[in-house]
Amino acid sequence: MATPTAPATPPTFPSASLYVGDLANDVSEGNLFEIFNLYGPVASIRVCRDGVTRRSLGYAYVNFHNPADAEKALENLNNTNIKGRVCRIMWSQRDPSIRKSGVGNVFIKNLDPSTDLKELYNTFCIFGNILSCKVMTDENGVSKGYAFVHFDTQETADKAIEKLNGKILGENSNQPVYVGRFIPKRERQKNQPKGFTNIFVKNVDNSVTKESFHEFFNKFGTVTNFDLAKDETGGSKGFGFVNYEKPEDAQKSVEEANGKEFSGKILYVGRAQKKSERQQELKQKFEQLRQERAAKYQGVNLYIKNLDDDIDDEKIRAEFSQFGTITSVKVMRDEKQNSKGFGFVCFSTPEEAAKAVSEMNTKTIGNSQKPLYVALAQRKEHRKAQLAQQHAQRKAGNFPPGGFLPPPMYAPGAPPVFYQPPPQQFYPPILQRNRYAPQTQYQSMPNYMPSLPVQRSRGGNTRQMPGRRFNQHPRGPRDQSQTQPQIAPVPNQVLAQGPNDPVLAPPVPDETLTVEMLNQFSPADQTMLLGERLFPLISKAQPALAAKITGMLLEGKNEKANGIEELLNLLVNPTALNSKISEAIDVLEQAEAGTTKE
């Protein structure tokens, strides 16, 4: 049948808002503005996104100032290609009852795969105003053979059903289509008979013929239809279907034939299910098993990383067995049985697991120089969702820069503790070997005075360049034991909040700061977080030079492949930190000596 192309007059709506669906994931508000603004001034555009991942949900709303412009855009842009996908545009319906009621909704099946959205729209629009039109496709964009058309009234929908049901649509189609009222799934399931007549049989021996297959199942009741699946060569695929006249016969066949031997094999006989039903049933079983397993290991399974290559299951068990009964230990390995550097320990009670976390986190095992990271194990999807949510909160400004919202983990029965982050200040420009260049300003340095290093004359007296101020930093003896106190990590101090202070999220404590946590932040935020922890440690040994030395160490983070790991090690290794402070002072003196010679 010939398909008309002249669209009917669109309905009159009080608003000028359009719904744009079937969009590609990379379509942004800017792309839609360039397209829709050609038909009139656009008031606003919003691409709807997931609240956690911020990925596009595939639809958007475009609001015009003038309803006439919206009508023009609908007529010209509906079923057009936007970034490789045909978009679907309709008037925005703010009342969900119109969509959910089913009034005016038509279901079409037996569509030819070549029938696209535009051809379907042009076929049905002659009967009345269409609110929505959609051809269902798979993940590759291939038609599934059925579609939906939603009219504004039930009268126009009934008219389309009367004229098109049983007709052939499309020039390349030779199969009549079914056009009828859309029936919601709940009503379809309600109207279906409680019993079943079609059964599925598998594990059928290849020697079984159709005659013997029919004879075996016909003794349970009258068989109206049956099929034994065959491959391209005519051989049996090992399964088939049997349809009985009465549901009682089908039920009897399942009860008596399931598990029974037939031609040397034990048969499986059960109610025939649609693919969607089987998938839903398997999904429910998998979800139930997952929940049972998650509840079993909730609060008792620990994740451990920074393991040396020579640490195996037995060493982990020996170190952690002091905290309670261990039910399982596993160090993860690759296909060559080399350690991946992380593993899991499962305790019998949450109290034992919490004690192990508090005692073993940041500790070292044997001769290892790497402090352990120990925390409660999380599922991958939960961890990714949590990190994405924290990133979205940071972008939205819901808590201060540098703040971090780690998963809460308190000792059983203990109240939560809120940490107050230090005030935001600034680092001085970073010192380079023989010259100074303004760099990114880093936060958290208290009361610094921008200055260049002390200029020393050959006689050892300090002099200053005209118009500049310099800080003196007398160099003491080389014996660090006499001049530099031992440095230990300084824990965050618990502060009481004032009545007008905002509620602040706890920042990351020193002992839980890891490479994975830092990688979710921008390089500037990484530098800020590390600087907030390095500066108080360095200022204990060199108060006058703490800002300069901190800036030098932070600059090295970006110059080395393992710069972040090295700085994290300085937070928990006083010896390594003292060594870095001495190296930084040497660099300062060399820079001063070069400036003096000039």
CA-wise closest residue to 221 among 253, 262, 256: 253
Q: What is the pLDDT of residue 203?
A: 92
Query: Model's pTM, two decimal places?
Result: 0.38
List every span in the chain annotated with CATH 3.30.70.330.
Answer: 17-189, 198-272, 298-377
Q: What is the pLDDT of residue 390?
A: 75
Q: What is the pLDDT of residue 269?
A: 93
pLDDT in tens, 102-112: 788 899 988 88
Q: CATH homologous superfamily of domain 198-272?
A: RRM (RNA recognition motif) domain (3.30.70.330)
User: CA 126 to CA 164: how far, in whole Å?
Assistant: 12
* Range with the poorest average pLDDT among 78-92, 428-442, 505-519: 428-442
How wide is the angle at C-alpha 521 spanned by C-alphas 518 and 524, nearest 5°?
100
317 CA to centre of own chain:
33
pLDDT in tens, 336-383: 888 898 999 999 888 898 899 888 888 888 787 788 899 888 877 777
How wide is the angle at C-alpha 352 spanned by C-alphas 508 and 405, nearest 5°?
20
Please say if the pLDDT value at position 232 is more than 60: yes
* Mean pLDDT, the chain, whole residue set: 75
User: CA 407 to CA 405: how far, in whole Å?
Assistant: 7
CA-wise closest residue to 390 among 408, 377, 403, 373: 403
Dihedral sign, CA of 165, 167, 170, 173?
positive
Please say if the pLDDT value at position 471 is more than 50: no
Instruction: List the structure tokens of 212.
Output: 């013997």
Which whole number is the average pLDDT over 49-53? 83
Q: What is the pLDDT of residue 439?
A: 39
Side-chain-side CA neighbours of 526 within 13 Å: the count stands at 21
Which whole number is the average pLDDT over 299-313? 88
CATH classification code of 17-189: 3.30.70.330
Mode of pairing for the β-strands spanning 178-181 and 105-109: antiparallel
Which whole number is the average pLDDT over 236-265? 90
CA-wise closest residue to 329 among 314, 342, 340: 314
Q: Is 525 exposed, middle or buried (0-12, 13-18, 19+ CB in 10 A)?
A: middle
Select, from the ranges 21-30, 169-178, 411-420, the one with the highest average predicted confidence (pLDDT). Answer: 21-30
* Ordered strands of the 88-91 beta sheet: 42-49, 56-64, 17-21, 88-91
CATH class belonging to 298-377: alpha beta
Confidence of residue 194 (pLDDT cuts 50, 70, 90): low
* Range with the poorest average pLDDT among 267-281, 424-438, 512-526: 424-438
User: CA 71 to CA 16: how far, in whole Å?
Assistant: 8
What type of residue sits at position 560?
K
